[in-house]
Amino acid sequence: MSRLSTSICIGLVLVGVGLMAILNLSTAAGAPLHVPTYAISLVGKYLSYAILALAVDLVWGYGGILSLGHAAFFALGGYAMGMYLLREIGPRGVYGNALLPDFMVFLNYKALPWYWNGFNHPAFAMAMAVIVPALVALIFGYFAFRSRVSGVYLSIITQALTYALLLAFFRNDMGFGGNNGMTDFKDIFGLPLQADSTRVGLLVATAIALCLCLLVARYVVTSRFGQVLIAVRDSESRTRFLGYRPESYKLFVFVLSAIMAGIGGALYVPQVGIINPGEFSPANSIEAVIWVAVGGRGTLVGAVLGAVLVNAGKTFFTGAFPEFWLFALGFLFILVTLLLPKGVLGLLQKKTGGRV
Amino acid sequence: MTTIGAVSDSLLYLNGVSVSFDGFRAINDLSLVLAPGEMRAVIGPNGAGKTTMMDIITGKTRPDTGEVIFRADTDLTKLDEPAIAALGIGRKFQKPTVFEVHNVWDNLLLALAGDRRPRFTMWARETGEERDRIDEILATIRLSDLRHTRSGDLSHGQKQWLEIGMLLAQEPQLLLVDEPVAGMTDSETAQTAELLVEINKTRSVVVVEHDMDFVRALGVRVTVLHEGSVLSEGSIDHVSEDPRVVEVYLGR
């Protein structure tokens, strides 16, 4: 039954995005079926969030690791992309410095910090967008899982992790643009970011990345590895007496999940046009957990559904009643926890007699 | 490591083991020798240290002092739980702990002896050999008809058997079984005794139990624990006539 829901989800994402792409590029602005470019980027943003939600569901839904710091991996991927996009600007910045991004000129940097080397190469930057989150997750997870930190304590230190990164990235002397972050991007891979075709291309790339992440996650959770992981989630000490090392299972899935979050972040930044330390804010990570809870924890497809639904709701609310959004989100979380323990997907499965 | 006479031909050798929790001596100078192929029943009142003894053997708790030696050459106090499980010591808990969301078949599959590392399980495919072995175990534990049942939906007694089946699937040399018949009906208790006797034909077993009729049905050597050390040891008739045992069990 989850195979069917995965197929439906992938089909909907690809067909929906394909239609949007065609309707944006082949119809003139003002035509009856025209999809405006802002909608393209908006959906692209939702789908990047869906990748983050998938990453959260993988560790929380299947590994029982309630990470309240997953947006940190998303933001790290986003920063790697942002660094590339800034260097891609080259001499076209406000200060016309071919080597230094505008904020460095403004802050009186004389030379490029060493860790900015290589980010002018897109392939290097893309690799860093997954390697850096993976490394942070590896180091953090190694110590946390080896010391058998779990449950609420783990959740608290993941919050601390993202908060520490938030504070660090706020500092100007970290060399990542301080509280302004990075923005005013011009090109990606030599293509103008403002062009409709580039926007559509990014949306399509995000949709494909989401589907691939979904397939990988599905393979992992249905493999024997996934069965052990679920066993660890439900009864960790029992798996230990069976001879499994839960810490290596958790570490593996945590790193894989951080990689997915990094990919989501890297796709998010060019579509929203900015990355700043606010992305590390603990509230962002908590919001991602709410998407998963709303969609249906431990279902993968539910995470995608939840991310899109809640963010579409957020777009509507922040436009119509901006001051009520946080109340609506809180109310939604309480409602789902009380009435829909298996989320929206669980409700759909019940309505269709368990077929999807 | 010293090799005193008893170590060399023992499967499990505990000598002078003590452990305290916050000043409370849960195990106090405990010594116990289990011969290869033996089944031993361990009885004792609540708080006698039965479960703590199991924790020490399986690596969950480290003793403060004393020797814990497996197969005459392996010091268990230096190893952690997965390493000890891999050596061939399986443990069944007091409360049945099966993986509730998995079905009976998958529970046994996860317990089957084999490579436990993520890099193996990530790509593992069920083999014919594994299927045969699981079928065999299902027959032994009398759950063949329930192979596709979610294990959380099994009755209490069936869960206990499934857990014993999972122990068998690990192919351990030594099974530690903690209160296997707690909460079972009389007929389930009798079947469990048969099952353990059957298992003991190929493996060594330590059974911790309160139920005296069950221990009598096993017909094996009995060790009585009291306040963390051995109070009496011998046949069930011998220990039940031991005045110290009578005093502990019946009160003074």
Whether the pLDDT of residue A242 is over 60: the answer is: yes
Which pLDDT value is given to residue A320?
86
Give chain A's largest Cα–Cα span.
Answer: 66
Interface of B with A (CB under 8 A): 58, 60, 80-82, 85-86, 90-91, 93, 97, 99-102, 106, 109-111, 116-118, 121-124, 166, 170
Is A27 domain-assigned? yes
Please tell me whether the interface predicted TM-score (ipTM) of this complex is above 0.90. Answer: no
Q: Read off the pLDDT of each residue in A184-204 and give the average, rounded to a whole number.
A: 93
Helix axes of A2-25 and A196-222: crossing angle, nearest 10 degrees: 170
Whether the pLDDT of residue A110 is over 70: the answer is: yes
Distance of alpha carbon B15 from alpha carbon B1, whole angstroms: 12
Percentage of chain A beyond pLDDT 70 is 99
A29 vs A99, higher pLDDT = A99
Whether the pLDDT of residue A205 is over 90: the answer is: yes
Percentage of chain A beyond pLDDT 90 is 77
Is A147 domain-assigned? yes
Q: How many domains does chain A have?
A: 1
Whether the pLDDT of residue A1 is over 80: the answer is: no
Q: Chain A residue with minimal CA distance to B54?
A: A241
Quick check: B238 and B225 in contact, CB under 8 A?
no
Which pLDDT value is given to residue A278?
95
Give the mutation candidate from A138, A224, A255 for the B interface (greatest B CB count, under 10 A).
A224
Q: Read off the pLDDT of each residue in B143-150 and give the average, rounded to a whole number.
A: 95
Q: Is A223 on the interface with B (CB under 8 A)?
A: yes
Whether the pLDDT of residue A250 is over 80: the answer is: yes
Which pLDDT value is given to residue A150?
87
Whether the pLDDT of residue B60 is over 60: the answer is: yes
Q: Chain B residue with minimal CA distance to A232?
A: B99
Indicate which CATH number applies to the domain containing A114: 1.10.3470
Over residues B153-202, the pLDDT tens digits come to 999 889 989 999 999 999 999 999 998 888 888 888 998 998 899 889 99
Which pLDDT value is given to residue B104?
97
Strand B12-21 relative to strand B65-70: parallel, antiparallel, unpaired? antiparallel
- DSSP assignment, residue A324? G
Question: What's the domain range around A321?
Answer: 2-351
Quick check: B101 and B42 in contact, CB under 8 A?
no
Q: Read off the pLDDT of each residue in A56-74 and give the average, rounded to a whole number.
A: 97
Whether the pLDDT of residue A168 is over 90: the answer is: yes
Q: Read off the pLDDT of each residue in A309-328 and give the average, rounded to a whole number.
A: 89
Q: Determine whether the interchain pair B99/A224 forms a contact, defined as Cβ–Cβ distance below 8 Å.
A: no
Which pLDDT value is given to residue A225?
97
pLDDT band at A134 (very low <50, low <70, confident <90, very high): very high
Q: Read off the pLDDT of each residue in A172-178 and give the average, rounded to a whole number.
A: 91
pLDDT band at A355 (very low <50, low <70, confident <90, very high): low
Whether the pLDDT of residue A92 is over 70: the answer is: yes
Is A356 domain-assigned? no
B97 vs B174, higher pLDDT = B174
Q: Provide the residue type at A8 as one letter.
A: I
Over residues A271-288, the pLDDT tens digits come to 999 999 999 999 999 999
Whether the pLDDT of residue B4 is over 90: the answer is: no
Which pLDDT value is given to residue A193?
93
Which pLDDT value is given to residue B47?
83
Is A249 domain-assigned? yes
Which residue from A228, A235, A241 is facing B91, i.e. has the nearest CB?
A241
Q: Determine whether the interchain pair A220/B122 forms a contact, defined as Cβ–Cβ distance below 8 Å.
A: yes
Q: Determine whether the interchain pair A223/B123 forms a contact, defined as Cβ–Cβ distance below 8 Å.
A: yes
Look at residues A156, A143, A111, A137 and name the one whose alpha carbon lies nearest to residue A282.
A156
Distance of alpha carbon A262 from alpha carbon A128, whole angstroms: 9
Whether the pLDDT of residue B127 is over 80: the answer is: yes
Whether the pLDDT of residue B3 is over 50: the answer is: no
Over residues B202-228, the pLDDT tens digits come to 999 999 988 888 899 899 999 999 999
Mean pLDDT, chain A, rounded, equals 93
Whether the pLDDT of residue B249 is over 90: the answer is: no
Q: Is A242 on the interface with B (CB under 8 A)?
A: yes
Look at residues B39, B26, B41 and name the one whose alpha carbon lies nearest to residue B224.
B41
The DSSP element (H or E) to which B32 belongs, if any, is strand B24-34
Which pLDDT value is given to residue B2?
41
Look at residues A43, A49, A44, A42 and name the one whose alpha carbon lies nearest to residue A261.
A49
Going A192 to A194 to A198 to A201, the CA torsion angle's sign is positive
Give A248's contacts in chain B (Cβ within 8 Å): 117-118
Which pLDDT value is given to residue B6?
65
Give the mutation candidate from A242, A247, A249, A250 for the B interface (greatest B CB count, under 10 A).
A242
pLDDT band at B1 (very low <50, low <70, confident <90, very high): very low
